[in-house]
Amino acid sequence: MQTFVLATNSETVSQTLCSYLEGVLDPDDSVYAVNSQRGGDSTSSTAVADGKAALEVVSDRLGDQVSVETYQIIRGNSPAADIFDIAEEVDADELVIGVRKRSQTDRLIFGSVAQDIMRQSDYPMRVVPRD
């Protein structure tokens, strides 16, 4: 039995991560899907709706195979911090994240949640290419 924490921010990311996980999940596994928004004025209603849609994809795609719980978190923390909080709470075996190719300039200007997770994590990870 494995416990996976899946980090998603869009329907496309959820589709990609689910496609990968469908081939590796066992019926006794659990998936905790997390969509984290920074909160406050920096979170638009569109971002909240997109996050909910991303979580629905995970429930729809994996819910018949394994236990799936979803979390949309909007409380002002960094997404990486929220993902680690859930991972600790559920005693995760692995984190599942999507990564895309970005230029050095993009990383400097915009940062990357996946990059933050990879640098800070003590958890094993499945890193799935998004592009």
> Among the residues of the chain, which ranges form H helices?
11-22, 45-62, 79-89, 104-110, 113-120
Supply the pTM of this predicted model.
0.86
Interval 56-89: pLDDT, tens? 999 999 999 999 999 999 888 888 899 999 999 9
Number of domains in the chain: 1
Interstrand relation of 94-99 and 30-37 (parallel, antiparallel or unpaired): unpaired
Interval 104-124: pLDDT, tens? 554 443 447 777 777 778 888
Q: Tell me which DSSP letter residue 30 carries.
A: E
Give the residue numbers spanning the domain of 30.
3-129
What b/e string do you get for 53-79 counting C-beta neighbours within 10 Å, with b at 16 or more? ebbebbbebbeeebebbbbebbeebeb
CATH code at 40? 3.40.50.620
CA distances, 59 to each of 11, 23, 26 (Å)? 12, 16, 16
The whole-angstrom separation of Cα 54 and Cα 13 is 8
